[in-house]
Amino acid sequence: MFSLRKLVDELAVAGHLVRLDEEISANLEAAEIQRRVYASGGPAVFFANVAGCQFPMVSNLFGTIERARFIFRDTYEAVRRAIELKIDPTQALRKPFRYWSAPLTAWRMQPKRVSRGPVLDQEIRLSELPQVKSWPDDGGPFVTLPQVYTEDVRQPGFGKSNLGMYRVQLAGNSYQPDREIGLHYQLHRGIGVHHQAALAAGQPFRVNIFVGGHPAMTLSAVMPLPEGLSELTFAGALAGSRIPMIGGRDRLPIYADADFCISGTIVPGRQAPEGPFGDHLGYYSLVHDFPVLQVEHVYHRRDAVWPFT
């Protein structure tokens, strides 16, 4: 069982994280602190006292190469070798001693089904989540490190699943408070392909949005992986253990070690204005219509920490 809170403690002991006990607002202030710390090559920052919110936040986890190496210090080499074998399997015959641990890495890459997990400890409303707004003209608060999980209704299961980092707007514009959020994605992306398949089959398109958990899940959601290598399998290799997913009848699997999970169904045939959003290129992406997620559950673990960038 992985805990982001424990990782925060490890980073602090190793000198990779500082703790802020002063009250900080999630509305613009936290993001400005994060930008300045990142620009100076500073440490990760733990915001222990977020104004009007019960959850602490952490930022800048991947702000330096040294910190990323520390986080993945036990698995980096094994993952690199696994990718080498994926590209050229004959390497195992030419250099058997280099790749002796490959079978163990391959086993760790397979996600596993579990019946329960800490992410389901408690349930809250959307408005109780940290409402991080990064720029003055943003359309509302956004989830800036979401892990958006979907499956193909034609081939349910982990094999054809997709874990991507797609923009998530928690509130604002015309979204119904505590009931709807916006998802920004293109139809040619993994989630878009799954969406079209669900529409063609006349089935509900369910979506789970994970926040937190092992940093391997966050990185896997943005990695351009080789064809045939799913995000969950890569995350397992990077984490050094199989990714636990809570299954169940009529339930889209939920990442058991996540700090938060927003679960819902895309509203068929409906789009709503999403944005503006100040992106990493230094410009605002303007308002456009995108799919709406009807939120059914918002879960969190007892020791939850909200990571953001």
What are the tens digits of pLDDT across the range 162-220?
Answer: 999 999 999 999 999 999 999 999 877 789 999 999 999 999 999 999 999 999 999 99
Same domain, 97 and 186: no
Residue 197 lies in a domain: yes
What's the CA angle centered on 163, arms 152 and 218, to 5 degrees? 170
Q: Are 117 and 133 in contact (CB under 8 A)?
A: no
Give pLDDT, residue 308. 98
12, pLDDT greater than 80? yes
Amino acid (one-letter) located at 64: T
Same domain, 124 and 160: yes
What letter does residue 224 receive in the DSSP assignment? Answer: -
Q: Are 295 and 169 in contact (CB under 8 A)?
A: no
Same domain, 80 and 133: no
Residue 56 lies in a domain: no
Residue 77 lies in a domain: yes
Q: CA of 123: how far to CAs of 48, 195, 208, in Å?
A: 21, 26, 14
Last residue of a domain, one of 108, 129, 163: 108
Backbone angles phi, psi at 248, to 5 degrees: 155, 160
Q: What's the chain's average pLDDT?
A: 90
- Confidence tier at 250 by pLDDT (50, 70, 90): confident
Same domain, 104 and 199: no
Last residue of a domain, one of 108, 134, 163: 108
pTM: predicted TM-score of the whole model, two decimal places: 0.91
Catalytic status, residue 178? no
Same domain, 85 and 141: no
Q: Which residues contact 9 (CB under 8 A, 6 or more apart)?
A: none
> Dmax over Cα atoms in the chain, in whole Å?
60
- Tell me the C-alpha distance between 141 and 269, whole Å: 24
Residue 142 lies in a domain: yes
Residue 198 lies in a domain: yes
Q: At what angle do helices 215-222 and 231-239 cross, to 10 degrees?
A: 140
Closest among 241, 1, 229, 233 to 110, alpha carbons compared: 233
For residue range 109-153, list pLDDT tens digits in order.
Answer: 789 999 999 999 999 999 999 999 999 999 999 999 999 999 999
Give pLDDT, residue 94. 53
Same domain, 104 and 150: no
Total domains present in the chain: 2
Same domain, 201 and 97: no
Same domain, 86 and 135: no
H-type helices in the chain, by residue range? 4-13, 29-39, 65-71, 76-87, 91-94, 102-108, 190-201, 215-222, 231-239
Residue 215 lies in a domain: yes
Find the catalytic residue in 9, 121, 279, 289.
279
Give pLDDT, residue 237. 85
Q: CA of 264: how far to CAs of 38, 175, 251, 254, 279, in Å?
A: 33, 14, 10, 12, 26
- Tell me the C-alpha distance between 262 and 148, whole Å: 9
Same domain, 179 and 283: yes
Same domain, 90 and 140: no
Q: Please provide the DSSP assignment of 264-284 as one string.
A: EEEEEEEEEEE--EE-TTSSE
- Confidence tier at 279 by pLDDT (50, 70, 90): confident
Token pair for 80: 């690199």
**Domain harbouring 163, CATH code:** 2.30.110.10
What Rg value do the Cα atoms of the chain yield, rounded?
Answer: 19
Print the domain residue range for 255: 113-308
Residue 22 lies in a domain: no
What's the CA angle centered on 308, arms 304 and 309, to 5 degrees? 165
Last residue of a domain, one of 92, 108, 124: 108
Closest among 261, 289, 286 to 276, alpha carbons compared: 286
Residue 162 lies in a domain: yes
Range of 36-40, 186-190, 232-236 with top mean pLDDT: 36-40
Distance of CA 42 to the CA centre of its chain: 23
- Tell me the C-alpha distance between 1 and 116, whole Å: 11
Same domain, 201 and 218: yes
Q: What percent of the chain has pLDDT over 70?
A: 89
Q: Which residues contact 263 (CB under 8 A, 6 or more apart)?
A: 206, 207, 208, 209, 252, 254, 295, 296, 297, 298, 299
Same domain, 117 and 78: no
